Structure 1
Amino acid sequence: MKTPKRIEPLVEEGLVDEVIRQLMSGKEATVYVVRCGEEIRCAKVYKDANQRSFRQNASYQEGRKVKNSRQARAMEKGSRYGRKMQEEVWQNAEVDALYRLAAAGVRVPQPFICFEGVLLMELVTDAAGNAAARLNDIAMTEQQALQFHAMLLREVVLMLCAGVVHGDLSEYNILVDANGPVIIDLPQAVDAASNSGAAEMLERDVDNLATYFGQFAPKLNGTQYGKEIWALYVAGLLHPDVPLTGKVAAHKKPVDVGSVVREIALARKEEEERRRAQYEAEH
């Protein structure tokens, strides 16, 4: 097919050899299947802010850092330069989250590079080698729904252990490859320790999963996995293999939120540095 204008710079730089076809178009980007040498990958072309149906709500921006004070001031003023910087922060958030989560062992597409507003990353495929279907497009039994739900809860826990909350998780941004669910679409991902709305976002993400899988496995309806996971996180007891019940006991003793957040931030930073060093050593 004809090379989209936004991908032309990647072709000129030798990062992409051929655009094979359009894979999907969503509320924030259009994704193409591309050939890079002998590898088949995908190129995610972010839409301009005025074309996206997903708005950069201030709740998602909280806690995100910019390179310098000039950029921060420009973003606050909403100048042309500030809007450009805001777009870069929005796009880089997904790249940063993908690297961070891949290092933590979360099932996400492997990122390669983000260049001129285009994210080049792994093409997730099914057992036959075709582009993987979205979770929403797959019919499943009650047993499979329970299995996928449990797998995704573990991914959510792994993400939170790495200090990340997806923020917009649903059946529409989960792919299913030969080994199960793969989480995609992370430009709205937030830092759990520095975003005051992280707990609410996590609970919403997990409730979305329960609502979807509850259509096939009614026992998931009314569960409180989101509250349970966050409570374990705040208490410093969350780890990838922690047993979950979907139930939460009522709290009677007030919590020193400020102290807890500081401890979480410190622990997350130490764990992130350890995982990054391990990831770099292995790759």
Structure 2
Amino acid sequence: MDNVQKDTIRNNVRGRYKQVAIKEISIKSSCCGSSDSASFDEVSAKMGYSAEELASVPQGANLGLGCGNPQAIAALKPGEVVLDLGSGAGFDCFLASRQVGSEGLVIGVDMTTEMVTKARQNASKGQFTNTEFRLGEIEHLPVANDTVDAIMSNCVINLSPDKQQVFHEAFRVLKSGGRLAISDVVMTAEMPPEIRADIDATYSGCISGASSIEELERYLQQAGFANISITAKDESKLYINEWLPGADIDQYIVSAIIQAIK
């Protein structure tokens, strides 16, 4: 994939998520989102968020964009620095901020200006003083070397047209012993050409951008990570088909937990 193709994908994704931020709706009939704005909490509950967690964030922070609950597997500790790749309106960041406490810091990075603005507004509304949101691409993180204890991400890395670079950047900013705690979709079977050919239903809808478990393991190994663990969540098939109705996409992708150590 050349740079022009990569930019086309990024611009398509950025445009779609700009509309999500502005309208406070999720991406209809696609992955990483509910088609009904009133059901965001219901969708998130299916992905492992508790009622307490859902009630603890500012209104408008949860846009129903995800495929799991990464902060639940991150084993966050008070005082840690946490980075969220593709932080959206700040939902997972605000949950993580409660775990790291006032001595910790949560940094959200998103490439969509409107999402960063919305997240900052939510942080102010909820008086989250240990969170900050930065505009940037996850392939080129606005974060210093060796400064992060844990990296989270929720159904975002599949959107990147250069996943190897994402993991190189993650390795760069993590401290020695730092860890990845990622929820994302993985490909379990080759997709039909008609699905792969539709960029709106694929990259910006989190479908054809999915990598196989073997590919992800290779990306992580080449970036330098150890203790790599990728666990598919078969129960996610219960909601995956809602992302692209009629396409039976649960035959091709599934949500997974991705963990590794620097």
User: Normalised by the shorter chain, which TM-score bucket?
Assistant: under 0.3
Q: Which has the higher contact order (CA 8 A, sep 6+)?
A: 2
**TM-score (normalised: structure 1):** 0.25
User: TM-score, normalization: structure 2?
Assistant: 0.27
